[in-house]
Chains A and B, each alone.
Chain A
Amino acid sequence: MNQKIRVVIAKPGLDGHDRGAKVIARALRDAGMEVIYTGLRQTPEQIVGAALQEDADVIGLSILSGAHMHICPKVMELLKEKGLTDVLVVIGGIIPDVDVPKLNAMGIGGIFLPGSPMQDIVDYITKNVRSRVEQI
């Protein structure tokens, strides 16, 4: 039996622009996922901690401030440390083209820039999330 996909939506760093994160959170809920929104100004430690605590399948990071090249490596490193390497990490926000391959190389496949339709994000997650059924 398929359980709901569990998604932590997080706002790392100092950026408080949360319109996108909240709209995506709601879209994912409407698509039948279980969504936990961390709120603002989270450290990588707090985000990974929330993912662990909430048994998340997905972490969605919303970063518009340009701090992604600092935050993302830390998040990926902490996920590895905690044995959470099969958690799917997606990111939305303002990411310069030159940084996209670097994020891909870190293991972040879903990078959603301005103008990305909500359905694309829902589809990407649905397609790439680890299967919970296999876990049991």
Chain B
Amino acid sequence: MKTAAPEPTKERLAERKGPFTTISGRPIERLYTPDDIRSLDYARDLGNPGDFPYTRGIHPTGYRGKLWTMRQFAGFGTPEETNERYKQLLRAGGTGLSVAFDLPTLMGRDPDHELSLGEVGKCGVNITSLADMETLFDGIELGGITTSMTINSPAPMIYAMYLVVAEKQALRHGSGQGAWQNLSGTIQNDILKEFIAQKEYIYPPRPSMRLITDIFTFSAREVPKWNTISVSGYHIREAGATAAQELAFTLRDGVEYVQYGIDAGLDVDEFAPRISFFFNSHSDFFEEIAKYRAARRIWAHVMRDRFKAKNPRSWQLRFHTQTAGVSLTAQQPYNNVVRTALQALAAVLGGSNSLHTNSLDEALALPTAEAATLALRTQQIIAHESGVTNVVDPLGGSYFVEKLTRDMEEEALAYFDTIDRMGGMVEAIERGYPQREVAESSYRFQQSVEKREKVIVGVNDFVAENEAPIEILYIDESAAEKQLAKLETLKRTRDNEAVTRTLGALRDGARGSANTMPLLIDAVRAYATVGEMCDALRDVWGEYEETPII
């Protein structure tokens, strides 16, 4: 039977003015038929959920077994204020925590640093020392929840703080031994995407990779259930990459981390099961779903065939998703509720293991409590009312989705080849390759929006005149004042000799080949600050300065 799509005639089958492309610019056919997936082999290319290559998911029971973790990213102002927001989110039904840190913390600066002025508590919570971390989780049992921390350059310091808080909590209930053995959570700890997209780097690439492999080694033994890295595409996408670039650069970053871990002396199966991923969920519904399915298939082959991992858990890609911040509009903000819902649904249909949904006001400010609750409710409605969780990988077998999955996989593998030929991702970054790809894509997208080839509702079409402003969360300087006061007290009351000693040991260890984690834990216990610990390493490695690519 002929299944090719009939050609349009002038009267019948006339189409609107094209082009018909995804938001990434990928052309889409009008119709997909069995011809498009003629070479698809179920066992080889798909497998059942839980079977290699995991295209259909890593768990046989999917969401029937366990819903994705509803993990809302949150943080602002002081640790006290954020602690309150975490408790609100948990009361509202959130099932995991996710910490947003402010820019001083992210950049390894204390609140009293010149560059921190005006920045404390504005984009996330300020964490200056272990004392702040203890306050952040006051009344929250770390043994009973998983926390993801979006921290990169100072990830080792923040991770060390979390470990010490968990240990102190466990000691308080008399279960001090083995507090870390069962502790689960995630640190983002993905420096490569900082060089490519988010730009929260401190040290140059190679010392940064050393800090990461130190964490792999340390955690494999001491914190075996901890996800030591969340290899991220979210930020690369937000910076302007296409879906295929997001997929390719993220997974190739993953390949780089695995190689560096092996080069640091680890057996691949010792640390690979604890690598996790973090993707964007953008506006083109089917492109995103195909992206997630392609990601699982690509990674399964990379781990089994390229790295010869033996443990199936090393082959299984687990990922968190966040709906696309960059798609939110300042105009007609309530439209963002709809955008987020569709993007969340795409992530669910793609089998995301964890999900953050953005709030309607996030093109304007950090979310209000009401907006944050509505974002969580969006997930709960999908989970409990839509019925999509009754079946695993419901779109499996769709001519369109399987073709798109295959196309995205091929495009990603082509990028792998290019980067492999450059000598790896670190080398590619040093040459500016991924940065240039992202800059090109972002400019092309902006041009298409300005030419109205891409409609953004409320922005370049369906515009409203004289919109009434909505109430937003305004963060003033009181957080900075409080954190500065605490810092001043801390420096007076802690054992400064211990701080000096542990920072000295950290510098010495960093200059040599010692694992930096135990040294950082010592400094953290002495209440050394984030700035002090990061500066100690700045003394050893200096700071990275990028050559900007427009």
Contacts and interface: CB of A to CB of B under 8 A. Distances in A.
A and B part of one assembly: yes
B459 A14 contact: no
Interface in B112-127: 114-119, 122-123
Nearest to A63: B118
A63 to B, nearest CB: 9
B446 interface: yes
A98 interface: yes
Interface stretch (B9-17, B102-110, B314-322, B373-381): B102-110
A38 to B, nearest CB: 9
Given A40-B199, A114-B330, A14 B106 contact: yes
B261 interface: no
Contacts of B238: 19
Contacts of A68: 118
A31 B11 CA distance: 43
B118 A69 contact: yes
Q: In which size bucket is the chain A interface? A: 35 or more
Contacts of A94: 363-365
A18 B365 contact: no
Interface in B429-464: 439, 442-443, 446, 450, 456, 459-460
A106 interface: no
Interface string A3-35: 000000000011111110011011101000001
B450 A118 contact: yes
The listed residue with most A CB atoms (<10 A of its CB), out of B107, B450, B472, B550, is B550
B122 A67 contact: yes
Given A18-B199, A19-B240, A40-B199, A97 B469 contact: yes
Contacts of B199: 16-18, 40
B109 A14 contact: yes
B146 interface: no
A48 B460 CA distance: 34
B353 to A, nearest CB: 27
B239 interface: yes
A115 B439 contact: no
B222 interface: no
Contact of A37 (B200, B326, B450, B548): B548
Interface residues of B, number: 44
A18 B201 CA distance: 14
B331 A117 contact: no
A83 interface: no
Nearest to B329: A115
B118 A13 contact: yes
B475 A40 contact: no
B122 A66 contact: yes
Given A16-B199, A37-B550, A115-B330, A43 B459 contact: no
B330 A14 contact: no
Given A39-B548, A67-B122, A114-B363, A14 B331 contact: no
Contact of B104 (A14, A113, A114): A14
B227 to A, nearest CB: 24
Nearest to A9: B550
Interface string A104-130: 000000000111011100000000000
A39 B545 contact: yes
Contact of B546 (A39, A67, A96): A39
A76 B86 CA distance: 39
Interface string B457-482: 00110000000010010110000000
A97 B472 CA distance: 10
Contact of B239 (A19, A29, A69): A19
B116 A43 contact: no
A118 B444 CA distance: 13
A41 interface: yes
A135 to B, nearest CB: 28
Contacts of A43: 114-115
Interface string A49-81: 000000000000000011111110000000000
Contacts of B439: 22
B198 interface: yes
Interface string B221-247: 000000000000000001110000000
Interface string B507-550: 00000000000000000000000000000000000000110111
Contacts of A13: 103, 115, 118-119
A23 B548 contact: no
A131 to B, nearest CB: 27
B119 A96 contact: no
Contacts of A113: 330
Contacts of B442: 19, 22-23
Contacts of A67: 103, 117-119, 122
Nearest to A71: B118
Given A13-B103, A15-B123, 16 more contacts: A13-B115, A14-B107, A14-B116, A16-B198, A18-B199, A22-B439, A23-B240, A26-B550, A65-B119, A67-B119, A94-B363, A97-B469, A113-B330, A115-B456, A117-B450, A119-B450
17 contacts: A14-B104, A14-B109, A16-B199, A17-B199, A18-B239, A19-B326, A22-B443, A23-B443, A29-B550, A39-B548, A40-B548, A43-B114, A65-B103, A67-B103, A71-B118, A94-B365, A117-B450
Closest 7 pairs between A and B when the two form their complex, measured CB to CB: A70-B118, A16-B199, A66-B122, A67-B118, A14-B103, A114-B330, A115-B459
